[in-house]
Amino acid sequence: MDIETSIYPYYPELAGLPFRLTGIGGSGYQAHISRPEGYRWYQILHSISGRGVLLHDGEQEEIGENTFIFLPKDSPHEYAPLTERWRVNWVAFDGSACDSTLKELGLDKARCAAVSDSSYMQELFEKMLTSQQTDILFSGYTCSGLVYDYILGFRRAFSSDEDNKRSRQLSQLMPALKYIYDNYSEDIPIPFLAQRVGVTHQHFCRLFKSVMKMSPNDYLNNRRIDEAKRMLREERLSVAETAEACGFHDAGYFSTVFKAYTGVTPSRFRGSGGNDK
């Protein structure tokens, strides 16, 4: 069923939401759009049927059926139909967390992703559209979560071989990561963690650093310091007792590590109300 509508919700009081739907719509006869200065919001377009062409970053890309297009805000672009009918749905969005989240997801430039099954994304789109049409009071909040899901859905659609490799490696490391999370207060030898993963000590250290971007000992210390920060904020233990509870058997060493990771000593951290630096 073709959608011939454009909705631009305006809720000034929701400007601080991390993700905010700023427009949604679609057309069975998508028109030629040229934006030399870009668009003020992020967009994800869904080419449902027919064909079109996208021009961005000095490149031209033909868009077929069941293809999603991500366009950053303020990024010059142009798209136009190549067939008499080009059916396209679109979602525009922004929000206080959009810039940082999209950067972390690698969505810093225009991207296209063809999919074999778009039912999940179509369901999210329909939920956003229905919310805008029927739930004026709470639609801004409802659509905030749906926009986030829509972004992640698009990101998964173009997972690269490198993404898939890292996912497999994370799964392999999971027994060690879970053990560290649950047993951070214990002495945890690296060979023991390697054994849980089923690889040699040397291979475990290489794999861990490649995937987690830090050594196993740094990861363990991060976990211990996070828990120490919680204890210093919420419990009445002394610094020495906190150190022992977090797996540091020497209070002086604990203070040195704590300051290296947070920039302040444990006592200063507690005195500041639990705020770093």
Cβ neighbours of residue 163 under 8 Å, at least 6 residues apart?
none
Structure confidence at residue 271 as a pLDDT band (50, 70, 90): confident
Residue range(s) in the chain whose domain bears CATH number 1.10.10.60: 163-271
Distance CA 137, CA 38 (A): 31
| Through-space distance between the first and last CA atoms of the chain, rounded to whole angstroms | 56
Structure confidence at residue 274 as a pLDDT band (50, 70, 90): low
What global pTM score does this model have? 0.65
Region of 75 please: left (phi>0), alpha (psi -120 to 50) or beta.
beta
Q: What is the pLDDT of residues 241-253, one digit of tens each?
A: 999 999 999 999 9
Residue range(s) in the chain whose domain bears CATH number 2.60.120.280: 5-158
> How high is the pLDDT of residue 162?
67
Pick the CATH number of 163-271 from 3.40.50.300, 1.10.10.60, 3.40.350.10, 3.20.20.70: 1.10.10.60
Identify the three-state secondary structure at position 41.
coil
Mention the CATH class of domain 5-158. mainly beta
Structure confidence at residue 137 as a pLDDT band (50, 70, 90): confident
Q: If you average pLDDT over residues 170-197, what whole number do you get?
A: 95
Residue reference for tokens 């890309």? 61
Asked if 19 contacts 97 with a C-beta cutoff of 8 angstroms, the reply is yes
Burial of 34 (0-12, 13-18, 19+ CB in 10 A): exposed
Does residue 132 have a pLDDT over 60?
yes
